Chain A
Amino acid sequence: MVLVYSDDEKNMLELIAKAKDVSKELDEKATAVVFDTDDESLAKKYIMHGADRVFMVKTGLNTFKGEEYTDAMEKILEETNEEVVIVGSTKNGKELASRLAAKLDTGCVIDCINLYVKDGKLTTERVVYSGNAIAVERFNSKPAVVTIPPKVFDPLPEDESRAGEVIKKEVKVDGYPSRIVDVKEMKTGEVNVEDAEIIVSCGRGFKKKEDIQLVEELAKVLRGTTGCSRPIAADLKWLSEDHWIGLSGHKVKPKLYIAVGISGQIQHIAGMRDSDVVVAINKDPEALIFKSADYGIVGDLYEVLPKLTNAVKEKMS
C-alpha cells in the first residue's frame, strides 16, 4: 500500500495522483490520511481525485505537531504495513517524514522531483548541490519514506464516479512535553508569488525603499507580481516575506522572471530556477545571475527600468 499525507490540501491532490501511479506499479492501493477533522467532504474530495481509501484519523490534537503526528503515522503503519509513505514537502511534512523514518529505521528522501519503481526498487530523484545536479537514489529498506514538494506533479481530474472507502480511526499518541503557544498568520494575502505567471524581482541593487516603485511599475505593465531576494525581505524589510523568492522563501515557476539588481546567489537561484524565461538586469557584467538568465542587460537599473517599462507598455498596446 502507498500511504499519502500532506498538511496542504492542494499538494495532497498532487501526491494522490503520484501515489496512484506508484501503487499501480507495485500492485497496491493508494491511501490518503487526514488528521483531526470531521469534514467528510474532504475525504470524498480525495477519493474523487483518485484515493482508493481515506483514513480519517483522530489523534486528540487539533493541529499539526511533529512529534505526535509522527507517532500517529507510525501506529497506522504498524497496522497496515505500507510499502511507501509519501508526505508533502511542506516544512511540517519534512519534519514529520524525517522523524518518522528514524523511528521506523528506514531511508527517507526529501524533496523528490521524481519517483518510480526500477528493478523492483523504489527510486527517487532530487535536486542537489543547489541546482547543479540530480541525485538518483534507491531504497534498500522498507517502508520507503519520501516527501514531494507542491506543483511537481499534476492532480488527477476530479471524477465523481470514483469509489473509495472512508475509514475512521482513533490513534492514541504519547504526549510530548513541548507545546504550541501561538500561531501567527504571516500572509497578508496581498501577494502570491507562487501562483504568479510573471514576476519582476528586486535585490540589493536598489538604493532605497522608494525605488522599489520602479519594479512595481514594470510588474504592473506586465500584469505581473513583484518579488524580491532575501536582503529586501529579511534584512531591510522593504517588502513583506510574501515577496521573498529563494531557498528559504518561496519557490516560483512563472512564465517570465525578471531579476533586477539581484546578484544571483545560489540561494536565490534555487527559488526561481524553474522559471520558463529568465531576464537579468545588473550593472555588474560578472554577476552570477547572468549565468541563470536567458536574456540580460548590463546597465544601471535606474536607467534601464524606466526605459524597459515604457518599451513594454508600447509593445503591449
Chain B
Amino acid sequence: MNIVVCAKQVIDVSEIKVDPSTKKPVLQGVPLKISDIDKNAVEEAIRIKEKHGGKVTVLTVSSSDAKERVKELLAMGADEAVIVSAPENADYDVVSKLLAAAIKKIGDYDIVLGGEASIDLFSGQMGPRLAGLLGIPQITYARKVDAEKDKVVAERDVGDVVVTMESPYPVLITVTKEINEPRLPSLMQILASANKPINEWSMESLGVKELTPKMETVEVKGVSMERKNIVYQDDVDEAVEKLVDSLAKEGVLR
C-alpha cells in the first residue's frame, strides 16, 4: 500500500499576537509547525502501512524552509519526504496543482491522505480540490478509516449523520482530529530518521510552468473581538453576586 500524505507547514495560530493599535494579527516571528490535523493523517498512514506494508511519503508545498518540520513526520514513521518549493504568491489553485504534479511524479499511489483542513486558514478546500485534479474519488471528514486489501471503508462525519463510504484505490481521504492520537517519536526514532530521504523539487522539475493565482488577497484585517474582560478574582460569594448583577444589566436573565 503506497500512501502519500499531504502535510502543510503553518504558523502556530495559538501563538499569534494581535497588535493592539491596528487589531491586526502579527504573523512575523510566529513559530511554524505541521498543521495538527495533517499529523493525524500521517499517523493514520503509518497505521495502514503497519497493517499492509508499503511506503508512506509525506508531501508538502511550502514557500519557506519546511525541512525541520518534515523531519518530525519522518521520525513518526514516514519513509520519505518531498518538499516542493512554492512561489510566495500561492493560492489553493496553485498549491493544489503543485501537489497534483508531485503526486503524479511520485507515481504509484493507493491513498492520498490529508487533514480535513489546516489549522491556520481552515478551509478544507485542498483535499477535494486535489481529488478533482487527480480525477479520483474522495472521502472527506473521515473519522474512521479501515483499509482493506483492495478497498477502503471509511466513516464520514457529516454532522448530524455519519456516512459510511467504500472506495477502491486510488482514493483521496481527509481525516478529522478524532480519528487517532498522533504518536510522539522516541529519541531513537528521531535519530534513526536522520538518514531518511528528503527530496526537494522545484516547480520546473515538475514540469509546471508559471501558475497565476485565481484569488488575490486584498487585505488581512483585524477583528474587533471586543470583550469586556471583566474578571472577578475576589471572594466567590462576592464574585457571583457581581456577575449576576452584570448579567441582569446585560438583559440576558429573563
Give residues in A with beta carbon < 8 Å to B: 66-67, 70, 90-92, 94-103, 105-111, 123, 127-141, 176-187, 198, 222, 234, 247-248, 255-256, 265-266, 270, 273, 276-279, 285, 290-300, 303-304, 307-308, 311-312, 315-316
Q: Give the chain A neighbours of B25 by CB distance below 8 A.
A: 129, 132-133
How far, in Å, is B137 (CB) from chain A's closest CB?
Answer: 4
- The interface stretch among B56-64, B66-74, B158-166 is B158-166
Q: Give the chain B neighbours of A91 by CB distance below 8 A.
A: 140-141, 156-159
Interface size class of B (residues with CB under 8 A): 35 or more
Q: How far is the CA of A172 from the CA of B127 in the complex (A)?
A: 25
Q: Is the CB of A131 within 8 A of B223?
A: yes
Q: Is the CB of B131 within 8 A of A295?
A: no
B171 at the interface (CB under 8 A from A): yes
Looking at chain B's contact residues, the main secondary structure is mixed
- Given contacts A137-B217, A178-B171, 8 further A-B pairs with CB under 8 A are A102-B133, A130-B119, A183-B163, A184-B161, A184-B164, A187-B160, A285-B233, A294-B250
Q: How far is the CA of A33 from the CA of B120 in the complex (A)?
A: 32
Q: Give the chain A neighbours of B164 by CB distance below 8 A.
A: 180-184
Q: Is the CB of B244 within 8 A of A308?
A: yes
Q: Give the chain A neighbours of B167 by CB distance below 8 A.
A: 177-179
Q: How far is the CA of A203 from the CA of B113 in the complex (A)?
A: 31
In B154-185, the 8 Å CB interface with A consists of 156-168, 171, 176-178
Q: Is the CB of A179 within 8 A of B166?
A: yes
Q: Give the chain B neighbours of A141 by CB distance below 8 A.
A: 93, 214-215
Give residues in B with beta carbon < 8 Å to A: 11, 13-14, 16, 18, 24-25, 27, 91-93, 96, 116, 119-133, 137-141, 153, 156-168, 171, 176-178, 212-223, 225, 227-233, 236-237, 239-241, 243-244, 246-248, 250, 252-254
| Nearest neighbor of A182 in chain B, beta-carbon distance | B164
Q: Is the CB of B165 within 8 A of A178?
A: yes
Q: Give the chain A neighbours of B16 by CB distance below 8 A.
A: 129-130, 132
Contact of B120 among A90, A128, A179, A299 (CB under 8 A): A128
Q: Give the chain A neighbours of B159 by CB distance below 8 A.
A: 90-91, 186
Contact of A99 among B11, B120, B128 (CB under 8 A): B128
Q: Is the CB of B141 within 8 A of A130?
A: no
Q: Is the CB of B232 within 8 A of A297?
A: yes
Q: Is the CB of A297 within 8 A of B237?
A: no
Contact of A185 among B153, B161, B236 (CB under 8 A): B161
Q: Is the CB of A103 within 8 A of B132?
A: yes
Q: Is the CB of A278 within 8 A of B141?
A: no
Q: Is the CB of A183 within 8 A of B161?
A: yes
Q: Is the CB of B233 within 8 A of A307?
A: no
| Nearest neighbor of B177 in chain A, beta-carbon distance | A248
Q: Is the CB of B248 within 8 A of A315?
A: yes
Q: Give the chain A neighbours of B120 by CB distance below 8 A.
A: 128-130
Q: Is the CB of B244 within 8 A of A311?
A: yes
How far, in Å, is B226 (CB) from chain A's closest CB?
Answer: 9
- State whether A297 and B141 are in contact (beta carbons under 8 Å apart), knowing that A181-B164, A184-B161 are contacts in the complex: no
| Nearest neighbor of B17 in chain A, beta-carbon distance | A132
Q: How far is the CA of A135 from the CA of B219 in the complex (A)?
A: 6
Q: Is the CB of A176 within 8 A of B240?
A: no
Q: How far is the CA of A130 from the CA of B123 in the complex (A)?
A: 11
Q: Is the CB of B252 within 8 A of A134?
A: no
Question: Could you name 20 residue pairs across A and B whose Cβ atoms are closer than 8 Å?
Answer: A95-B128, A95-B138, A97-B125, A99-B132, A107-B93, A130-B122, A137-B216, A140-B212, A141-B93, A178-B171, A180-B165, A180-B166, A184-B163, A256-B250, A292-B227, A293-B231, A294-B230, A295-B246, A304-B236, A311-B244
Q: Is the CB of A102 within 8 A of B247?
A: no
Q: How far is the CA of A307 from the CA of B156 in the complex (A)?
A: 42
| Nearest neighbor of A294 in chain B, beta-carbon distance | B228
Q: Give the chain A neighbours of B141 by CB distance below 8 A.
A: 91, 95
Q: Give the chain A neighbours of B225 by CB distance below 8 A.
A: 131, 273, 292
Q: Give the chain A neighbours of B250 by CB distance below 8 A.
A: 256, 277, 294
Q: Give the chain A neighbours of B156 by CB distance below 8 A.
A: 91
How far, in Å, is A289 (CB) from chain B's closest CB?
Answer: 10
Q: Give the chain B neighbours of A105 by CB distance below 8 A.
A: 93, 214
Q: Is the CB of B247 within 8 A of A295?
A: yes
| Nearest neighbor of B137 in chain A, beta-carbon distance | A178
Q: Give the chain A neighbours of B24 by CB distance below 8 A.
A: 133
| Nearest neighbor of A136 in chain B, beta-carbon distance | B218
Q: Give the chain B neighbours of A187 by CB distance below 8 A.
A: 160-161
Q: Give the chain B neighbours of A277 by CB distance below 8 A.
A: 247, 250, 252
How far, in Å, is B133 (CB) from chain A's closest CB?
Answer: 5
Q: Is the CB of B220 within 8 A of A134?
A: yes
Q: Give the chain A neighbours of B213 by CB distance below 8 A.
A: 107, 140
Q: Is the CB of A136 within 8 A of B220?
A: yes
| Nearest neighbor of B123 in chain A, beta-carbon distance | A110
Q: Give the chain A neighbours of B248 by CB distance below 8 A.
A: 315
Q: Is the CB of A177 within 8 A of B124?
A: no
Contact of A307 among B123, B140, B232, B237 (CB under 8 A): B237
How far, in Å, is A300 (CB) from chain B's closest CB?
Answer: 8
Q: Is the CB of B128 within 8 A of A98?
A: yes
Q: Is the CB of A185 within 8 A of B160?
A: yes
Q: Is the CB of A295 within 8 A of B215?
A: no
Q: Give the chain A neighbours of B166 by CB distance below 8 A.
A: 178-181
How far, in Å, is B142 (CB) from chain A's closest CB?
Answer: 11
